[in-house]
């Protein structure tokens, strides 16, 4: 089980170039406390723009880590900086320290913090994209589909979605584009549609996240699924998944894509033959697809004004 979880959290192909890039503002706390899980790093592109559009990246860790922002930058950051984005790599609390929806509250607080401090950090917060892989893809997708939702109920369970973390609760946590790299979207369906990992187990990443075995907690699972919140106001999505992923089966991305299409939300799904949980996907061709998608989303938003 331990080896499988390590694979689930895999972030590979870190380049020496990325390791040489330092954040302009490292270890900024976005929640007004001292938690490592509430820190972010801000990197600015070399272009001399007064304010740079924003790409927020969220790491994959099976929700078990609270400090992998550096690794997520090393994976996605160089391509995003090259495309002219300010890159913000964020931490969030581990599911072993705080269960769902704590991670959602964290990521939303980080978005609000960036909007509240846009001038201070030379950011153009009129366009904020979010990118994540694996569990980070789940959180990125959740940000995309839950933008204006404060609270939500499924059956007898109600949870706060927005939360009140940090000092900028008057700011919006909505995002303008989402790139979801092989993130879970429907927890209770993961084992039934092809996973080689036992997600139904009481100690699985998903069960740990929601605070109990997923097949015994259908309402909490539904509340944690990004697909639950899809509506026609959602931003455009790019979803990338390997068809040989042994840990998060590609049906997870297919379900999200179908839900978005049913609401006529712009969604592109790329399923890569023979690619696994990262290997076969973390390549320049797909990083270019990511940046091309984001630049198109930026242009489309500008053209609507």
- Nearest alpha-carbon partner for 247 in 136, 134, 99, 103: 134
Question: What is the pLDDT at residue 48?
Answer: 62
Query: What are the tokens at 284?
Result: 């320049």
pTM reported for the whole predicted model: 0.94
The CA dihedral of 89, 240, 159, 204, to the nearest 10 degrees, is -90
Is residue 180 within 8 Å of residue 253, measured between CB atoms?
yes
Question: What is the pLDDT at residue 305?
Answer: 66
- Nearest alpha-carbon partner for 138 in 76, 218, 66, 223: 223
- Nearest alpha-carbon partner for 234 in 152, 122, 130: 130
Query: What secondary structure letter does DSSP report for 182?
Result: S
Going residue by residue through the chain (305 aa), what tens digit of pLDDT does each one get? 434 444 444 444 444 456 689 999 999 999 999 999 999 999 999 876 778 999 999 999 999 999 999 999 999 999 999 999 999 999 999 999 999 999 999 999 999 999 999 999 999 999 999 999 999 999 999 999 999 899 999 999 999 999 999 999 999 999 999 999 999 999 999 999 999 999 999 999 999 999 999 999 999 999 999 999 999 999 999 999 999 999 999 999 999 999 999 999 999 999 999 999 999 999 999 999 999 999 999 999 888 86
CATH 3.40.50.1820 holds for 2-304 = yes
Write down the domain spans for the chain. Answer: 2-304
Contacts of 207 (CB under 8 A, 6+ apart): 199, 200, 201, 213, 214
Dihedral sign from CA coordinates of 294, 270, 16, 2: positive
- Write phi, then psi, for 125 (nearest 5 degrees): -85, 10
Question: What is the pLDDT at residue 50?
Answer: 78
Rounded CA-CA distance 54/170 in Å is 19
Would you give the distance in Å from CA 89 to the centre of its chain?
11
């Amino acid at each position: 089980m331990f080896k499988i979880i390590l694979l689930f959290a895999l972030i590979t192909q870190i380049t020496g170039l990325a390791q040489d890039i330092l954040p302009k503002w490292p270890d900024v706390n976005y929640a007004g406390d001292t938690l490592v899980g509430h820190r972010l790093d801000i990197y600015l592109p070399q272009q001399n723009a007064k304010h740079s559009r924003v790409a927020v990246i969220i790491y994959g860790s099976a929700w078990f880590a609270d400090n992998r922002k550096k690794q997520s930058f090393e994976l996605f950051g160089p391509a995003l900086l090259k495309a002219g984005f300010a890159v913000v790599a964020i931490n969030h609390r581990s599911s072993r320290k705080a269960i769902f929806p704590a991670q959602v509250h964290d990521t939303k607080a980080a978005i609000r913090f960036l909007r509240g401090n846009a001038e201070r950090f030379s950011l153009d917060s009129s366009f904020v994209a979010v990118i994540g892989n694996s569990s980070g893809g789940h959180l990125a997708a959740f940000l995309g589909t839950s933008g204006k939702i404060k609270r939500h109920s499924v059956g007898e369970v109600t949870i706060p979605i927005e939360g009140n973390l940090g000092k900028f609760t008057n700011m919006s946590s909505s995002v303008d584009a989402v790139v979801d790299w092989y993130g879970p979207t429907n927890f209770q369906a993961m084992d039934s549609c092809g996973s080689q990992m036992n997600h139904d187990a009481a100690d699985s990443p998903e069960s740990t996240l929601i605070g109990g075995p997923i097949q015994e907690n259908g309402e909490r699972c539904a509340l944690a699924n990004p697909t639950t919140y899809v509506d026609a106001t959602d931003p455009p999505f790019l979803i990338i998944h390997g068809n040989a992923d042994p840990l998060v089966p590609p049906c997870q991305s297919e379900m999200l894509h179908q839900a978005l299409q049913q609401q006529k939300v712009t969604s592109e799904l790329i399923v890569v033959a023979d690619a696994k949980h990262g290997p076969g996907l973390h390549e320049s061709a797909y990083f270019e697809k990511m940046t091309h998608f984001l630049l198109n989303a930026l242009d489309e938003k500008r053209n609507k004004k």
